[in-house]
Amino acid sequence: MKLLQYFFGIVIAQIAIFSLVVLNSGSLKGESLLRIAIPALFIALVIAFWFSSIAKHHSKDVVSKVKDEFATEKEKIQANAEREKERVRKQAQKEIRNETTKAHAKANFKVGASFAGVLGVGALFVMAQMMTAGLLVISTAVGGMGGYYLRSKRAKTLELTSIDVKAIETKPKKAKKLDQLDA
């Protein structure tokens, strides 16, 4: 469609120049050439402004179309990034939960084994007829085991509810101040 706009402008310019030449067809001297040249320059100037206006409107249309496409693409990228960020965060929380559970299980096994060893020593003291020392060791081991058990259960419930992972940060961290680096 833009071709037709330019085509009509060129046709109008040619018709105007042709009509000027036909009107001054008697003799082409300096004065008649001047009578043709001045209107032809004016016509060329008007048509140049017309073509410039058409080009500006066309470029504005193209720029607005590209801006709209860019905005929709940007929204798609942001939505995909948010989905990916949420997926990574959930996966990281799941991994942390699994690793925490494994670490607690290993720690509980080690602590249980050490308490069993202490209970064994207490039982050995009781069998060796060292009742006071044996009962003291057994009661200390049982009290420690109970305290450890209650603390681990409380820590586990608090720890799992307070897990918050930021896998992707949206804002860059600020650089440390120079006086903090010197310290």
How confident is the model over 16-28, as pLDDT tens digits? 888 877 777 766 6
First and final CA of the chain: distance in angstroms? 71
Higher pLDDT, 105 or 79: 79
Q: 49-71 pLDDT, tens per residue?
A: 888 888 888 889 999 999 999 99
Note whether residue 31 is domain-resident.
Answer: yes
126-166 tens-digit pLDDT: 777 777 777 777 777 778 777 877 887 787 777 656 555 55
The better pLDDT of the pair 79, 178 is held by: 79
Does residue 46 belong to any structural domain of this protein?
Answer: yes
Number of structural domains in the chain:
1
Residue 48 lies in a domain: yes
Q: Please state, for a pLDDT cut of 70, what percent of the chain lies above it.
A: 81
- Domain containing 42: what range? 1-53
Residue 94 belongs to some domain of the structure: no
Please tell me the predicted confidence (pLDDT) of residue 82: 92
Note whether residue 129 is domain-resident. Answer: no
In a domain, 5, yes or no: yes
CA 27 – CA 83 distance, rounded (Å): 81
| Residue 27 pLDDT | 67
Q: Does residue 34 carry a pLDDT above 80? A: no
Residue 159 domain-assigned?
no
Q: How far is CA 16 from CA 2, 11, 39, 128, 140, in A?
A: 22, 9, 9, 130, 115
What pLDDT digit, counting tens, does each position of 114-134 carry? 777 777 777 777 777 777 777
Residue that is written with structure tokens 């042709």 in the block: 18
- Residue 61 sits at φ, ψ, to 5 deg, of -60, -45
pLDDT (average), residues 34-56: 82
Query: Cα–Cα distance between 60 and 58 in angstroms, integer?
Result: 5
Which residue's entry shows tokens 């860019």? 70
Residue 72 token pair: 């929709």
pLDDT score at 71: 93
- Average pLDDT of the chain? 77
For the record, the structure tokens of 150 come out as 């209650």
Residue 137, domain member (yes or no): no
